[in-house]
Amino acid sequence: MDRLRCFRMMLRPKTHVFLSYSLSLLLIIIFFFSSTNAAFNNITTIPFNDGYSPLFGDDNVVRSPDGNGVRLHLDRFSGSGFISSNMYQYGFFSARIKLPSAYTAGICVAFYTSNGDVFEKTHDELDFEFLGNIAGKPWRFQTNLYGNGSTHRGREERYRLWFDPSKQFHRYSILWTAKNIIFYIDEVPIREVTRNEEMGADYPSKPMSLYATIWDASNWATSGGKYGVNYKYAPFVSEFKDLAIEGCSADPIQEIPGGAACSEKLDKLDAQDYATVTPRRRLAMRRFRQRLMYYSYCYDTLRYPIPPPECVIDPSERLRFKETGRLKFGGSHRRRSKRRGRTFTPVVEDDQAD
């Protein structure tokens, strides 16, 4: 299908949620895809049994027949998850993911790196968390990072998706190097955190494993807990395939990769096309954040009267947000929750205010 035909199909009157978004966003995404799709074409994937193992809910971790993917189920008895076989200090972590369909309020699907099982009080973490959905509303998700146990200094950003993530697979990726962190959806960078001296230990720096989980987060995930999981729609299934990790495995006790071979791998990682936010990618990221980011901790003056050191404050962008860090249609922070032992402060939101 040629690009023009594809674009015309996107403009047909439908009830699909992304039609409510700006035409300019769609144009920039199409332009971006048409020009830079080589960056993610050469990713080396790892069969599930070769690089991962069940984390919990073993009966709900269902491997694909070809061995290249897995389905995670949530039912009224258990959620499920998997973990990488190795830990890595810096790397590229990526998977094509399809989220559960139909009514999914209260469900959290997470794709993240962490070392909380090894460094319980000083853990690092990088998150994609998808926050469930109710009929007629766009899917919402958040990215977050923690360094050295800084759970009281959560760095959440929240967004809407410009597509329905339950209809087809999309690639979600986390690049983590000694100098920066980039979150990608397909080939669109949606967030970059650049390391600086002022961040200190808040910048994740210890070896981490890759995790994926699905679990019941009824008390906070969708509209701040207003809508919980309805198990008459169970099982809820999230699919993961084409899993990829580029990096060098590391001993968490030594905390540094060892040997010349690891140095070569990390140099190769830094040289990858996706390791740099080019001017074209930066434009796409800016468009995404202008149109679809609705909360940023950098503008949340209630939590952070002085923005954390990695924040780059844009005066024109600041005008769009309330003192809570949310866009000017409501929201607050008033709830605490736990995900398998990790405490954080999510953003409470009211869907009806959008």
In eight-state DSSP terms, residue 208 is B
Find the catalytic residue in 129, 156, 157, 187: 129
Task: Return the closest-CA partner of residue 87 out of 226, 247, 214.
Answer: 247
Find the catalytic residue in 125, 156, 157, 310: 125
Active site residue 129: yes
Q: How far is the C-alpha of 327 from the C-alpha of 294, rounded, in Å?
A: 5
DSSP 24-93: HHHHHHHHHHHHHGGGGTTPPP--HHHHEEEEE-GGGEEE-TTSSEEEEEE-SS--EEEEESS-EEEEEE
Alpha carbon distances (Å) from 64 to 89, 188, 239, 241: 29, 27, 9, 9
What is the torsion angle, in degrees rounded to the nearest 10, for the CA atoms of residue 26, residue 27, residue 33 and residue 34?
A: 150
Task: Return the closest-CA partner of residue 327 out of 353, 307, 309, 306.
Answer: 353
**Residues 171, 163 contacting (CB under 8 angstroms):** no
Active site residue 349: no
Task: Return the closest-CA partner of residue 59 out of 231, 240, 235.
Answer: 235
- Active-site annotation, residues: 125, 129
